[in-house]
Protein backbone atom coordinates (compact mmCIF):
# COMPACT_ATOMS: atom_id res chain seq x y z
CA UNK A 1 0.00 0.00 0.00
CA UNK A 2 1.97 2.96 -1.26
CA UNK A 3 -1.00 5.31 -1.32
CA UNK A 4 -0.43 8.07 1.25
CA UNK A 5 -4.09 7.90 2.23
CA UNK A 6 -3.66 4.27 3.33
CA UNK A 7 -0.21 4.36 4.88
CA UNK A 8 -1.18 4.99 8.51
CA UNK A 9 -4.87 4.08 8.75
CA UNK A 10 -4.63 2.47 12.17
CA UNK A 11 -2.73 5.43 13.66
CA UNK A 12 -4.90 8.41 12.65
CA UNK A 13 -7.92 9.71 14.54
CA UNK A 14 -11.54 9.23 13.44
CA UNK A 15 -11.96 12.69 11.94
CA UNK A 16 -8.93 12.16 9.70
CA UNK A 17 -10.46 8.91 8.46
CA UNK A 18 -13.59 10.74 7.36
CA UNK A 19 -11.49 13.46 5.70
CA UNK A 20 -9.64 10.75 3.80
CA UNK A 21 -12.93 9.16 2.77
CA UNK A 22 -14.03 12.50 1.31
CA UNK A 23 -10.68 12.92 -0.47
CA UNK A 24 -10.99 9.42 -1.93
CA UNK A 25 -14.47 10.22 -3.25
CA UNK A 26 -13.04 13.31 -4.97
CA UNK A 27 -10.40 11.19 -6.70
CA UNK A 28 -12.88 8.84 -8.44
CA UNK A 29 -11.64 8.31 -12.03
CA UNK A 30 -14.00 9.88 -14.54
CA UNK A 31 -12.06 9.60 -17.81
CA UNK A 32 -13.95 6.53 -18.97
CA UNK A 33 -12.22 6.33 -22.35
CA UNK A 34 -8.73 5.94 -20.88
CA UNK A 35 -7.01 2.61 -21.42
CA UNK A 36 -6.28 2.09 -17.74
CA UNK A 37 -9.71 3.23 -16.49
CA UNK A 38 -10.72 -0.24 -15.26
CA UNK A 39 -7.49 -0.65 -13.30
CA UNK A 40 -7.78 2.81 -11.72
CA UNK A 41 -11.46 2.26 -10.88
CA UNK A 42 -10.68 -1.09 -9.26
CA UNK A 43 -7.84 0.52 -7.29
CA UNK A 44 -10.19 3.31 -6.21
CA UNK A 45 -12.76 0.74 -5.04
CA UNK A 46 -10.13 -1.12 -2.99
CA UNK A 47 -8.91 2.09 -1.34
CA UNK A 48 -12.49 3.22 -0.65
CA UNK A 49 -13.40 -0.17 0.84
CA UNK A 50 -10.25 -0.20 2.99
CA UNK A 51 -11.01 3.19 4.56
CA UNK A 52 -14.67 2.26 5.05
CA UNK A 53 -13.69 -1.03 6.69
CA UNK A 54 -11.38 0.80 9.09
CA UNK A 55 -14.21 3.21 9.98
CA UNK A 56 -16.52 0.25 10.56
CA UNK A 57 -13.90 -1.65 12.57
CA UNK A 58 -13.46 1.30 14.92
CA UNK A 59 -17.18 2.12 14.98
CA UNK A 60 -16.04 5.69 14.32
CA UNK A 61 -18.68 8.38 14.64
CA UNK A 62 -18.75 10.97 11.84
CA UNK A 63 -17.67 14.48 12.82
CA UNK A 64 -20.36 17.12 13.36
CA UNK A 65 -19.26 19.13 10.33
CA UNK A 66 -19.78 16.18 7.96
CA UNK A 67 -23.11 16.50 6.12
CA UNK A 68 -25.36 13.49 6.39
CA UNK A 69 -26.03 11.69 3.11
CA UNK A 70 -29.34 12.40 1.46
CA UNK A 71 -31.94 9.64 1.75
CA UNK A 72 -32.35 7.57 -1.39
CA UNK A 73 -35.07 8.73 -3.77
CA UNK A 74 -38.39 6.92 -3.85
CA UNK A 75 -38.32 4.08 -6.34
CA UNK A 76 -40.16 4.89 -9.54
CA UNK A 77 -41.36 2.45 -12.11
CA UNK A 78 -39.40 2.70 -15.31
CA UNK A 79 -41.56 2.91 -18.39
CA UNK A 80 -40.67 2.90 -22.03
CA UNK A 81 -41.61 6.08 -23.88
CA UNK A 82 -45.07 5.78 -25.37
CA UNK A 83 -46.07 2.65 -23.48
CA UNK A 84 -49.06 4.41 -21.88
CA UNK A 85 -50.08 5.75 -25.26
CA UNK A 86 -50.05 2.23 -26.70
CA UNK A 87 -52.40 1.00 -23.96
CA UNK A 88 -54.79 3.92 -24.51
CA UNK A 89 -54.86 3.41 -28.28
CA UNK A 90 -55.33 -0.34 -27.85
CA UNK A 91 -58.20 0.15 -25.40
CA UNK A 92 -59.83 2.68 -27.74
CA UNK A 93 -59.59 0.26 -30.68
CA UNK A 94 -61.06 -2.59 -28.62
CA UNK A 95 -63.86 -0.31 -27.43
CA UNK A 96 -64.71 0.80 -30.96
CA UNK A 97 -64.70 -2.81 -32.23
CA UNK A 98 -67.00 -3.91 -29.39
CA UNK A 99 -69.30 -0.94 -30.05
CA UNK A 100 -69.48 -1.82 -33.76
CA UNK A 101 -70.23 -5.46 -32.95
CA UNK A 102 -72.99 -4.43 -30.53
CA UNK A 103 -74.51 -2.05 -33.08
CA UNK A 104 -74.27 -4.72 -35.79
CA UNK A 105 -76.10 -7.25 -33.60
CA UNK A 106 -78.73 -4.68 -32.69
CA UNK A 107 -79.24 -3.80 -36.35
CA UNK A 108 -79.42 -7.48 -37.30
CA UNK A 109 -81.96 -8.14 -34.56
CA UNK A 110 -84.19 -5.31 -35.82
CA UNK A 111 -84.07 -6.39 -39.47
CA UNK A 112 -84.91 -10.08 -38.85
CA UNK A 113 -88.29 -9.43 -37.30
**Residue range 74-79: mean pLDDT, rounded:** 61
pLDDT of residue 113: 58
Instruction: Work out the mean pLDDT of the chain and round it to a whole number.
Output: 83
Is residue 17's pLDDT more than 70?
yes
Q: Identify whether the C-beta of residue 31 lies closer than 8 Å to the C-beta of residue 77.
A: no
Rounded Cα gap, residues 49 and 102, in angstroms = 67
Determine if the pTM surpasses 0.75. no
- Over residues 29-71, the pLDDT tens digits come to 888 888 888 999 999 899 889 999 999 999 999 888 888 777 6
What is the structure's pLDDT at 81? 59
| Contact criterion met (CB below 8 Å) for 29 and 37 | yes
Amino acid sequence: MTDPLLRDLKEVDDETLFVRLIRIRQRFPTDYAAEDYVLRRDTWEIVNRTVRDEITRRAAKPPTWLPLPAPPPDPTREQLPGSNRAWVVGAAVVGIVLLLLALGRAAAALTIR
